[in-house]
Amino acid sequence: MAPEINNRLITHRVKNLIKNSQAMTLATASNNKAWAAPVYYVNKRACFYFFSNPNSRHIEEAFASGQAGCTIYAQDASWQNLLGLQMSGKILIVPGGIEASKAILAYVKKFPIVKTFFPNIKNADLSDFICKFHAKLYCFIPEFIFFMDNSVNFGFRKEIKKESLFE
């Protein structure tokens, strides 16, 4: 018999997964050809911020189609413990300003190795990242979110309302 799971527990598991994971995989398609690209992210409210080259295939295809898929999942060797998020949404470029500054500071906090590239990170802005990494700041904004957890039941999947996660 599968264990019972309530909405509060699901929300808790989803928030922990988002907080404790480091990478997400973005999926796009064009001309009947699919593509997937892993990126490191930081989450602030309903935005999953990441850096990417503006000429990369996943960025070009996401902008051309206006949509992208995204998955975040916990690493585990057992299919019984497969746990993750499946999302569809859109990718937006993040211009400079307060939003970019907050996202960069959160990114550096999550990935301290970035400090080695910028000795004075408190004053780093988006142009520093663009210049150093030839990458721009983007935000994946989910429109639909599904939580899947094989520890509940094989193939267990439930739609999650954004409002319950990003209050």
b/e per residue 37-46 (b: at least 16 CB within 10 A): bebbbbbeeb
Q: Residue 15 is part of which domain span?
A: 7-162
CA–CA dist 91, 61 (Å, integer): 10
Residue 1 in any domain: the answer is: no
Look at residue 2 and tell me if it is in a domain: no
Query: Could you tell me the pTM of the whole model?
Result: 0.90
How high is the pLDDT of residue 1? 43
Residue 124 is predicted with a pLDDT of 63
Q: Which parts of the chain sit beneath pLDDT 50?
A: 1-2
Q: What is the pLDDT of residue 4?
A: 60
Interatomic CA distance for residues 12 and 19, integer angstroms: 11
Q: Please tell me the distance from the alpha carbon of residue 139 to that of residue 91, in angstroms, as a whole number.
A: 6
Question: Has residue 51 been placed in a domain?
Answer: yes
The pLDDT of residue 61? 98
Angle at 24 between CA 18 and CA 27, to 5 degrees: 135
Separation between Cα atoms, residue 131 and residue 127, nearest integer Å: 6
Question: Would 167 be classed as within a structural domain?
Answer: no
